Structure 1
Amino acid sequence: MFLELAAIPSPPGEERSVADRVIAELEAMGLAWDEDDSGLSIGSTMGNILCRVPGGAGEGTPIFLCAHLDTVPPDGPLEPVIEDGVIRNAGGTILGADDKAAVAVMLEAVRRIVVERRPHAGIELLFTPKEEVGLVGAFAFDHNRLEARTGYVYDQAAPIGEIILGAPSQNAIRARFHGRASHSGMAPEDGRSAIFAASRAVADMRLGRTDHQSSANVGVISGGTARNIVPEWCTIDAEARSRDPGTLAVLTQEMLDAIGFAASTSDCTAETEVEQTYRGYAFAEDEPAVALAAEGLRRAGYEPATAFSGGAADANVFNERGLRCVNLGNGMIDIHTPDERIAVADLEAMVDVTLAIVDAARESW
């Protein structure tokens, strides 16, 4: 199943083929599903797919499992192969284990539950689009449709057993510098280079990991019209992340100050926009959703370990909306790179972990 899913391209907004394959699997298990109409509004070929697995026993803790169907855009062919028990992409680009490994695991776990008629307290499956570009599908989903208030995503490139206790908030920052165009050979002194101003701003920023829970990055720079014209405009897209709201505010303001200072000292102007892309969260180790995951991991033979993430997942959205959603490491390695890989044994182990969490949830009160 994973090899089949990984071979289907599904960059953000173009998830239809993978969605149809998931739907076919749900229908083969005799499960009802529905797809919301968010696709059109968010620019995707699919909406969010929700499936409820019948058979809840009326006791215990119902859970939902969520995975996203998009991947970062591949820049080569998708040719997943198994070498020495490890799945890689022979095509020289991403594998797509993020997050198709979770999709395959969740489908297989539910297949076993259906075939074996395993009792459970209630299971819902949710498959989202456009996670990689800002958790867009999850934000578009009406979370009130979920009956479960506790959920899990497997979207952390970490060893099986790792439970993510928290993830950061992110501010997206866009700055557009305005200068003055002129011929770069005939009258360079008449020009005001917006690219120079943007470069000065970036040079003055604290980028990378700024402390143990914060980071900053400038990811995109674009500007100018031709090689022989002093550039009259330049845009930078940047971000600041932190698990601490105060630190996030300070880091964001530092970046805005660098933009303003660089523009003023370069005889340019700058327009800025700041948007909170998503909100962070933090769990205590005795949080019931965390304790339930830990119990499932132990039953499957893994010693739980806790950590914090520097990245976001659909879990951020559900926690922001009052649900308790925990992200678990699932054995993915080097995601978003041509070296992305996952062991077959880890795929199989995460099925066992899922079934153990389902069993522990049924027995919980």
Structure 2
Amino acid sequence: MLDLFLALCETPSPPGSERPVADLVTATLDALGLAWEEDGCGAAVGSDAGNVLCRLPGRRGGTPIVLCSHLDTVPPQGPIRPVVEDGFVRNAGGTILGADNKAAVAVMLETARRVLAKDRPHGGIELLFTVKEEVGLLGAYAFDRALLEAEVGFVYDQAGPIGEIILGAPSARSIEARFHGRAAHAGMAPEEGRSAILAASRAIADLRLGRVDALTTANVGMIEGGAARNIVPEHCRVIAEARSHDEQSLVALVQEMVDAFAFAASLSDCTVETEVRTQYRGYRFRDDDLPVQLATAALTRCGLTPTTSLSGGGADANALHEHGLPCLNLANGMAEIHTPDEHIAVADLETMVDVTLALVDAALEA
């Protein structure tokens, strides 16, 4: 499994360019003698690959489950040279490792190998590998839920210690604001100009950003505009987002941000166009829901102490849950994801295989 994980990591797969990793996954499935299918979502979501679905034969009752991981990573900013040091896998290339989410890919494939090798009884296991998760869960949203036999799902896409069960994730909205002013020579006739950048800056200064409250966050991630240092900027674009576990709070905050953009534009004699998009919808589990019960049983069987928390980010679980499939996110030991310090313990890869096999057993009994 470690060799497979290293091979996955050293194969770059930024969103939209998942084909090499998808081919590595399907080649591994072929070597295991497993049938798989790739859907046609690639062209629709802007990827050179589609979602890959594999179903393990030999169902013997119980509750069918699907394990899901995504094939893409955030774009690497340098070479990926995974190394094993002191029991941890890191990248010696000065950029991301890609454990998010290739650690889960490796665990799923190794679990399949062990189930087949031991003819382990199960209640139905499906493996789903998605594309373009990092840019809005696009592959999971494009996936046809009707293809699944599973009644519950699990993703391993939370950076944290193994044993952490994510009971809920937020809803998220993106806000794009396009400010329009009037160009003028900044040295000869600045009075004739209307600075779109000034309007955008005023708006950003008035926004409540960061952790707005215990359940809500907001951020401005991009601002771009202007043509040259000596031209009063006619255009400026701001990309922002808001997330919350409380839908009413999210709606109110987004409206507050839109209003701030409009007010700042009026103060600067500019205009602004805003566009709000739903990125994904949140969900919340209870302790007695079946996916939580199965995860708790599996973790306990492995000698781990289950804990529960809420996530501040989205995952494929959001999309599958919105499609009507209860899908739970479990922490898998990843650390410092999306940074050059990203790493994971080799022991945690093995532990997650044990947890997955325990999930298989718990689902067979459910």
Range into which the TM-score falls when normalised by the shorter chain? over 0.9
1:192 maps onto 2:194 in alignment:
yes
1:17 partner amino acid? P
Q: 1:1-365 counterparts in 2 under 5 A?
A: 1-57=4-60, 59-364=61-366
SS in 2 for 1:335: coil
- Return the offset for 1:348: 0.5
- Return the offset for 1:189: 1.0
- Return the offset for 1:246: 0.5
- 223-232 or 63-72: bigger deviation: 223-232
1:318 partner amino acid? L
Distance in structure 2 (CA, Å) of the matches to 1:359 and 1:322: 24
Distance in structure 1 (CA, Å) of the matches to 2:221 and 2:95: 20
- 221-230 or 23-32: bigger deviation: 221-230
- Return the offset for 1:320: 1.0
SS in 1 for 2:58: coil
Q: After superposition, what is the alpha-carbon deviation per residue over 1:282-310, rounded to whole angstroms, capped at 9, x for unaligned?
A: 00011111100110011111111000000
1:39 partner amino acid? G
Distance in structure 2 (CA, Å) of the matches to 1:73 and 1:236: 21
Distance in structure 2 (CA, Å) of the matches to 1:251 and 1:25: 46
- Return the offset for 1:74: 0.3
Q: After superposition, what is the alpha-carbon deviation per residue over 1:109-156, rounded to whole angstroms, capped at 9, x for unaligned?
A: 110001111010000000000000000000110011100120000000
Q: After superposition, what is the alpha-carbon deviation per residue over 1:170-192, rounded to whole angstroms, capped at 9, x for unaligned?
A: 01100000000001111111100
**Structure 1 residue runs of 4 or more that deviate by more than 4 Å after TM superposition:** none
SS in 2 for 1:10: coil
- Return the offset for 1:276: 1.0
Distance in structure 1 (CA, Å) of the matches to 2:308 and 2:155: 15
Distance in structure 1 (CA, Å) of the matches to 2:67 and 2:335: 21
1:302 partner amino acid? L
SS in 2 for 1:229: coil
- Return the offset for 1:226: 1.3
SS in 1 for 2:177: strand
1:37 partner amino acid? G
1:25 partner amino acid? T
1:104 partner amino acid? A
Distance in structure 2 (CA, Å) of the matches to 1:191 and 1:80: 52
Distance in structure 2 (CA, Å) of the matches to 1:143 and 1:263: 43
Distance in structure 2 (CA, Å) of the matches to 1:10 and 1:228: 40
Distance in structure 2 (CA, Å) of the matches to 1:199 and 1:90: 39
SS in 1 for 2:68: strand
Distance in structure 2 (CA, Å) of the matches to 1:144 and 1:335: 32
Distance in structure 2 (CA, Å) of the matches to 1:308 and 1:42: 28
Q: After superposition, what is the alpha-carbon deviation per residue over 1:32-71, rounded to whole angstroms, capped at 9, x for unaligned?
A: 00001110111101001000000100x2111000000000
Distance in structure 1 (CA, Å) of the matches to 2:113 and 2:170: 34
Distance in structure 2 (CA, Å) of the matches to 1:340 and 1:261: 41
Percentage of pairs with the same residue: 67
Distance in structure 2 (CA, Å) of the matches to 1:352 and 1:109: 8
SS in 2 for 1:220: strand
